[in-house]
């Protein structure tokens, strides 16, 4: 029996992936084909083809914004934030997306210049052209000073008076309790507090919710359940006028709950993420990284919590 377990798990993940493709890609694209007037009539109002997007809430709160993703290391943008980045970059939202990486990934000194270049390559695949890499020291024993992070944000953030500013970074658990990630949470939050004290409320902060072990390595399994409930909810709401609200692992200690966002990738978005990681960050593609690519839920799902 113990030798059959890996085979059973593999089959479970494979079946789950097929169901996920059906729910995130085939069904939405089919619905668009038969319900969108522009697609049905093949007469388009502008240069942007109607995208399919799986986000909660449906009325998207981040539009016409200057967005800055604040990360600690090259490859964080793919391994943890790619569903958010790809979605936020879609033309229909009219967002400008920038990236600040606080270290060059120089835990091994000579790798710094390689990983800087790889980050640029990955960001281009994800649709981000404006990338800044700072010189903070990478390491599990490195805790970055809050005051230094605040100063760096003031010096490097790009703002646009015609658009609201949005910062996105890690939460207080830093995905994996990495001290560099956690430092960015505290530093970025202190930066926002400083703006609030000066009566500047135009800048929003979202943090990526850290997932527990089971959810982190569930790949598409839990997303399938949530998406099924979402489809069921929509059907019941349309035909019976009853609302159902189901959430999993719902620790909302950081959440205001008003403009929290859930991003579900489809097959097209996942393909971009795989390309950005495998091609962009070639030096990081050691054997265990493939396990992350095929097991991690962060490649197909993000939950951003507004602070």
pLDDT digits (tens, 9 = 90+) for 150-192: 999 999 998 888 889 999 999 999 999 999 999 999 999 999 9
Residue 285: burial class (beta carbons within 10 Å; 0-12, 13-18, 19+): middle
Residue 64 pLDDT > 90: yes
Integer angstrom CA distances of residue 294 from 17, 71, 189, 306: 10, 22, 32, 28
Residue 252 pLDDT > 60: no
The C-alpha atoms of residue 301 and residue 213 are separated, in whole angstroms, by: 15
* CATH, residue 240: 3.40.50
Q: What is the CA radius of gyration of the chain?
A: 20
Cα 58 to chain center, whole Å? 17
Residue 273 pLDDT > 80: yes
Cis peptide bond upstream of 98, omega within 30: no
Calculate mean pLDDT across residues 41-65: 87
Neighbours of 9 (CB within 10 A): 10
The confidence score (pLDDT) of residue 44 equals 87
- The pair of structure tokens assigned to 116 is 């800087």
- The pair of structure tokens assigned to 66 is 């200057």
Q: List Cβ neighbours of 208 (8 Å cut-off, separation of 6 or more).
A: 80, 81, 84, 168, 169, 170, 171, 175, 302, 303, 304, 305
Which pLDDT band holds residue 243 (cuts at 50, 70, 90)?
A: low
Residue 264 pLDDT > 70: yes
Domain that holds residue 28: 3-306
Calculate mean pLDDT across residues 10-27: 95
Integer angstrom CA distances of residue 253 from 12, 109, 204, 245, 249: 32, 38, 18, 18, 12
pLDDT > 90: what percent of the chain?
Answer: 68
Contact 270, 300 (CB under 8 A): yes
Total count of domains within the chain: 1
Task: Judge if pTM exceeds 0.85.
Answer: yes
Calculate mean pLDDT across residues 24-33: 92
Instruction: Name which of 95, 286, 66 is nearest 157 in CA terms.
Output: 66
First to last CA, the chain: 48
Neighbours of 172 (CB within 10 A): 14
Residue 230 pLDDT > 90: no
Contact 88, 61 (CB under 8 A): no
**What pLDDT, in 10s, does the model give residues 99-122?**
999 999 887 778 889 999 999 999
């Amino acid at each position: 029996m113990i030798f059959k377990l890996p085979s059973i798990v593999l089959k479970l993940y494979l079946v789950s992936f097929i169901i996920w493709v059906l729910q995130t890609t085939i069904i939405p694209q089919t619905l668009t084909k038969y319900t969108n007037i522009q697609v049905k009539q093949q007469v388009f109002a502008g240069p942007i083809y109607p995208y399919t997007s799986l986000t909660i809430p449906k009325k998207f709160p981040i539009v016409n914004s200057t967005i800055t993703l604040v990360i600690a290391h090259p490859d964080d943008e793919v391994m943890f934030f790619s569903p958010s980045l790809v979605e936020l970059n879609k033309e229909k939202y009219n967002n400008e997306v920038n990236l600040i990486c606080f270290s060059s990934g120089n835990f091994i000194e000579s790798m710094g210049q390689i990983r800087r270049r790889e980050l640029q390559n990955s960001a281009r695949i994800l649709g981000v052209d404006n990338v800044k890499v700072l010189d903070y020291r990478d390491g599990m024993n490195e805790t970055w000073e809050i005051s230094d992070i605040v100063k760096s944000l003031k010096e490097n953030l790009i703002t646009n008076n015609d658009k609201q500013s949005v910062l996105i970074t890690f939460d207080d658990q830093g995905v994996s309790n990495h001290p560099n990630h956690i430092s960015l949470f505290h530093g970025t939050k202190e930066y926002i507090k400083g703006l609030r004290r000066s009566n500047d409320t135009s800048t929003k902060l979202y943090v990526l919710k850290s997932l527990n072990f089971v959810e982190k390595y569930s790949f598409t399994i839990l997303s399938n359940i949530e998406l099924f409930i979402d489809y069921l909810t929509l059907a019941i709401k349309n035909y019976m006028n009853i609302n159902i609200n189901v959430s999993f692992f719902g620790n909302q200690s950081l959440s205001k709950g008003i403009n929290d966002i859930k991003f579900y990738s489809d097959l097209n978005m996942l393909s971009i993420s795989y390309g950005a990681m495998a091609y962009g960050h070639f030096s990081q593609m050691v054997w265990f990284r493939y396990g992350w690519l095929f097991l991690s839920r962060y490649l197909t799902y993000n939950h951003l919590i507004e602070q």
